[in-house]
Amino acid sequence: MELSGNTVLITGGASGIGYAMAEAFLAAGSEVIICGRREARLQEARQQHPKLHVKRCDVANEQERAALVEWVVSQFGNLNVLVNNAGVQRDIDFSNGITEFLAGENEIRVNLEAPIILSGMLVPHLKTKQAAAIINVSSGLGFIPAAKMPVYSATKAGIHAFCMAIRRQLQPLGIKVFEVIPPAVDTELNPQGRAQRGGFKANLSSTEFVAAVMKDLANDVPEIGYAMTAGLRNASRADLDKSFEQMNSRW
């Protein structure tokens, strides 16, 4: 895809990978709208980049999601790229039953339902645009699940399947579908889990990761991995099982 001349909506664009993508699309000469739940973070992002457009929205909330779509289509008629990046991650122990899952944020709504519904809601608009694209952010954990994060891993495996399926369905409409598959990146994701793992550090910044992602987007690579996730596309079931054992015996 062309990186310039787009109008891009990035969910969860005020921090981490989403913010780095916002900066990269702005630098390439695209117009960028970001959303998230924390107004203060959105305003901070706009202070850094006055050209950014911001909208407070909880993408897991049906009414707020509908209002976002209505607002963005009416205010930004040229919108041609949706980046489903917003995500949450939690360690959840199912040996305690369902209690822990029900006690915290619902990863299924944020990570899986919201991207699916936002994609569907925006297809009628995107299909009228030249160079339309949907970019969904999954995770290496969608291919190699983390035993400590069963629901998160399942949502990201779901995003992978969704990307494959709609890539085929939307191709005749001229809408490209990309899957970005981050490895561990140093962001604000799952602070409790990272603290429990001794202040886990990946030594990979969002900026470095996104610089590589943008190159692959420009080259129309449909499934974009980096470092540990770069080989997932060609991994065999035996490779994935081996990585599953290695990763989950470390944690």
Summarize as ranges the residues that interact with ligand NAP (CB under 6 A).
11-12, 14-18, 35-38, 41, 57-60, 85-89, 110, 137, 139, 182, 184-185, 187-189
Q: How far is the CB of 179 from ligand NAP (least distance, A)?
A: 11
Q: How far is the CB of 19 from ligand NAP (least distance, A)?
A: 7
* Residue (102 or 238) nearer to ligand NAP, CB: 102
Residue nearest to ligand NAP (CB): 16
Q: How far is the CB of 134 from ligand NAP (least distance, A)?
A: 14
CB of 229 closer than 8 Å to CB of 143? yes
- Tell me phi and psi for residue 34, to 5 degrees: -120, 150
* Residue (37 or 125) nearer to ligand NAP, CB: 37
Q: How far is the CB of 186 from ligand NAP (least distance, A)?
A: 7
CB of 77 closer than 8 Å to CB of 64? no
* Dihedral angle over CA of 230, 236, 241, 246, nearest 10: -40
Place of tokens 């909330």: 61
* Residue (22 or 166) nearer to ligand NAP, CB: 22
* Residue (17 or 82) nearer to ligand NAP, CB: 17
Catalytic residue (choose from 152, 162, 178, 209): 152
* Residue (170 or 226) nearer to ligand NAP, CB: 226
Q: How far is the CB of 34 from ligand NAP (least distance, A)?
A: 8
Sheet containing 223-225: give its strands across.
53-56, 31-36, 7-11, 81-84, 132-137, 175-181, 223-225
* Residue (2 or 58) nearer to ligand NAP, CB: 58
Give the β-pairing of 53-56 and 81-84. Answer: unpaired
Q: How far is the CB of 76 from ligand NAP (least distance, A)?
A: 18
Please say if 152 is a catalytic residue: yes
Instruction: Show which residues are catalytic.
Output: 152
